[in-house]
């Protein structure tokens, strides 16, 4: 009677007191809640052209416990769709690694014909299921690879970097942004997962679906990029290791951010082969590097506007006095040469800019000092890491006395100031920073670059004033105008003759290596005699129209040797494309150049795409 009483008491306790707990346990054993991946948001250009979208992805999965003889089933499957030995071995390995009821992807990105063959032969393929999902696709391929980036499967490193990972990241083969906008705008693009309630048996096999709640799609992201201009800029850089940035001077919108050569991001989404990846890594032109924001280069003579404004603000010159240039300057027992060995004679600020006289800026730097040059450089946007939604944005280097003390364990020298005055020595800038500097010179405002825009936002961006005196900027702009439009200017051959599109600019050539005495003795005296990676960098910055600036452009051609000969023609073409809806008009070029330019543009036209044909919405 005691034992029977104890059993009855226990039954009462389980059925009445603990019934709710056991009911929940039983329900969890019977019903599972599964996450459904959300649809990733689109990335569009400023005009609604699709830069990153989703495409149907037909795939075949297999479950080991339903397949029985997996080798037999995989063999039959290989007769219906193209499967390599590596794919078969990987599927076999994944099945053995996972639990028997977990589906394993055998092949994906199949055609409709292939997936139909699998479906029609289902009775002979136990455990094999054809499925349809979505996969990321970049229709413009290499055009926006460095800006948009790409997605890839979630890795352990990705999960470790998050304090509280979103449960959706644990879905097998779920993809997230790895670089570029895809990564920096991940939270906006990802969306929220849906849920599915399924009934399972004791070993976890799905018996039926009970309920489904679709997820919330990710938000679309609109960039300031103009896909047509981006395509033109990238193709205009074809054959070079180079970068070009195009900015709207009014609001800082980045219209083009082209880094050449580029790569096809679809390769990474689909699983890039080792051979293809090694080819990208070993390319001396570094296609995986976004040179527009990662590349740091001595700005060369494009920096001279900084030195000139620093001297004007310091009151050490009024800009109208002249300095004699004999072709060199001797300071503290060292001789610093001008690029024109015979000298420029007497030059003022305007002519020193247009003819790019080094000695003039050597003199100005000695008068105002590195501290004022550094302050003006920062004011014009150099040495600043801009907060853009792309990875690895570099801050450049705006050197100070403290920087040299901390990083070189040495005091600042007079020669350091002289080198910095012409954008050499320790000074480093990115093409993005040079474009910002040019836009600020054109507008006298502290315009900031931006890459993401709200298509519904119609209010104008009002940048703060730089408070530079109009008479100072008038001389700077006149010098940049004469650089392009005066016969003695270094970029005169790249002038624009179209009415209302007059361009102002500044060339630059930054030294990478100097020719050694031994090389000179061996007969190597010209840049083209040196190996490619030892030649000078070519730079050009410009804005237009001169009277009412709208567009600012910067171009850097790695080891391009001459800013006037290599970078300036590229900068002019990109500027004209920006002002004329993506295609430079032949009438904008000087008449003697039109035959040559027409031939070049015809060749270029064969490589250009028509991104506007891929517009899916009106932003």
Q: Which residues are catalytic?
A: 301
Cα distances from 26 to residues 18, 161, 202, 209, 344, in angstroms, run 13, 36, 11, 18, 92
Count the Cβ atoms, other than its own, within 10 Å of residue 601.
Answer: 18
Torsion sign over Cα 423, 428, 432, 437: negative
Q: How far apart are CA 561 and CA 511, in angstroms?
A: 9
Burial of 496 (0-12, 13-18, 19+ CB in 10 A): buried
Q: At what angle do helices 470-485 and 304-314 cross, to 10 degrees?
A: 150
Virtual torsion, Cα 16, 17, 21, 22, nearest 10 deg: -40
Whether the CB-CB separation of 403 and 353 falls below 8 Å is answered with: no
Strands 221-223 and 43-44: parallel
Identify the residue whose tokens are 């430079």: 584
What the block records as the tokens of 450 is 């931006």
* DSSP label at residue 580: T
Grouping H, G, I as helix, E, B as strand and the rest as coil, residue 213 is strand
- Collapsing DSSP to helix, strand or coil, 347 comes out as strand
The full DSSP string for 490-550 is TTGGG---STT---EEEEEEE-SSPPPHHHHHTT--SGGGS-GGGSPEEEEEEEESSSS--
Residue 122's CB: how many other CB atoms inside 10 A?
A: 11
Structure-block tokens of residue 273: 């082969």
CA distances 227 to 46, 142, 143, 222, 551, Å, are 8, 12, 8, 12, 16
- On the 0-12 / 13-18 / 19+ scale of CB atoms within 10 A, 123 is exposed
Strands of the sheet containing 31-36, edge to edge, are 31-36, 194-200, 206-213
Please tell me the distance from the alpha carbon of residue 474 to that of residue 441, in angstroms, as a whole number: 10
550, 340 in Cβ contact below 8 A? Answer: no
**Token pair belonging to 19:** 């019934």
Taking the CA atoms of the chain, what radius of gyration do you get in angstroms? 32
Check residue 464 and report its DSSP letter: P
In this structure, what token pair is assigned to residue 67? Answer: 């397949």
559-594: b (≥16 Cβ within 10 Å) or e: bbbbbbbbbbbbbbbbbbbbbeebebeeebbeeebe
Q: Which SS3 state, helix, strand or coil, does residue 613 take?
A: helix
Short-list 355, 354, 180, 361, CA closest to 259: 180
């Amino acid at each position: 009677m005691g034992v029977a009483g104890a059993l009855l008491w226990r039954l009462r306790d389980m059925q009445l007191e603990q019934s709710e707990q056991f009911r929940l346990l039983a329900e969890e054993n019977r019903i599972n809640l599964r996450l459904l991946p959300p649809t990733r948001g689109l990335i569009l250009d400023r005009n609604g052209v699709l830069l990153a979208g989703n495409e149907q992805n037909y795939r075949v999965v297999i479950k080991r416990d339903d397949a029985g003889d997996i080798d037999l089933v995989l063999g039959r499957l290989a007769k219906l769709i193209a499967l390599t030995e590596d794919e078969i071995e990987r599927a076999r390995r994944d099945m053995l690694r996972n639990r028997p009821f977990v589906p394993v992807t055998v092949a994906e990105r199949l055609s409709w014909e292939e997936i139909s063959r699998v479906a029609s032969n289902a009775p002979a393929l136990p455990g094999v299921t054809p499925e349809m999902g979505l996969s990321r696709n970049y229709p413009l391929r290499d055009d926006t690879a460095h800006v948009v980036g790409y997605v890839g499967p979630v890795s352990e490193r990705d999960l470790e970097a998050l304090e509280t990972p979103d449960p959706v990241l644990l879905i097998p083969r779920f993809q997230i942004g790895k670089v570029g906008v895809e990564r920096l705008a991940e939270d906006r693009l990802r969306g929220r997962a849906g849920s599915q309630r399924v009934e399972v048996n004791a070993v976890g096999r799905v018996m039926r679906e009970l309920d489904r709640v679709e997820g919330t799609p990710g938000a679309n992201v609109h960039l300031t990029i103009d896909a047509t201009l981006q395509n033109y800029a990238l193709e205009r850089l074809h054959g070079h290791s180079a970068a070009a940035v195009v900015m709207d001077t009014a609001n800082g919108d980045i219209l083009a951010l082209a880094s050449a050569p580029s790569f096809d991001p679809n390769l990474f989404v689909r699983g890039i082969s080792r051979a293809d990846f090694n080819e990208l890594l070993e390319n001396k032109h570094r296609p995986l590097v976004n040179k527009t924001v990662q590349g740091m280069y001595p700005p060369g003579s494009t920096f001279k506007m900084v030195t000139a404004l620093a001297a004007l603000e310091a009151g050490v010159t009024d800009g109208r006095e002249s300095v004699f240039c004999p072709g060199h300057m001797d300071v503290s027992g060292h001789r610093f040469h001008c690029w024109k060995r015979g000298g420029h004679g007497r030059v003022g600020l305007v002519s020193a800019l247009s003819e790019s006289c080094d000695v003039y800026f050597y003199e100005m730097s000695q008068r105002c000092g590195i501290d004022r040059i550094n302050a003006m450089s920062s004011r014009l946007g150099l040495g600043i890491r801009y907060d853009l939604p792309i990875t690895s944005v570099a801050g450049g280097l705006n050197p100070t006395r403290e920087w040299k003390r901390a990083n070189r364990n040495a005091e600042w020298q007079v020669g350091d100031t002289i080198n910095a005055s012409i954008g050499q020595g320790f000074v480093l800038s990115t093409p993005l920073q040079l474009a910002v500097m040019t836009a600020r010179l054109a507008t006298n405002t502290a315009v900031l670059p931006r890459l993401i825009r709200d298509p519904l936002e119609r209010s104008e961006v009002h940048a703060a004033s730089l408070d530079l005196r109009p008479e100072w900027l008038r001389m700077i702009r006149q010098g940049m105008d004469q650089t392009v439009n005066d016969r003695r200017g270094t970029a005169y051959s790249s002038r624009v003759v179209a009415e209302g599109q007059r361009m102002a600019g500044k060339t630059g050539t930054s030294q990478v290596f100097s020719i050694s005495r031994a090389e000179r003795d061996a007969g190597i005296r010209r840049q083209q005699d040196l190996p490619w990676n030892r030649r000078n960098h070519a730079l050009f910055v410009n804005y237009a129209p001169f009277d009412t600036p709208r567009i600012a452009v910067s171009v850097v051609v790695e080891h391009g040797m001459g800013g006037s000969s290599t970078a300036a023609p590229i900068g002019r073409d990109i500027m004209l494309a920006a002002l004329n809806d993506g295609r430079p008009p032949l009438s904008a070029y000087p008449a003697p150049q039109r035959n040559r330019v027409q031939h070049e543009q015809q060749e270029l036209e064969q490589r250009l795409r028509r991104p506007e044909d891929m517009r899916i919405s009106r932003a």
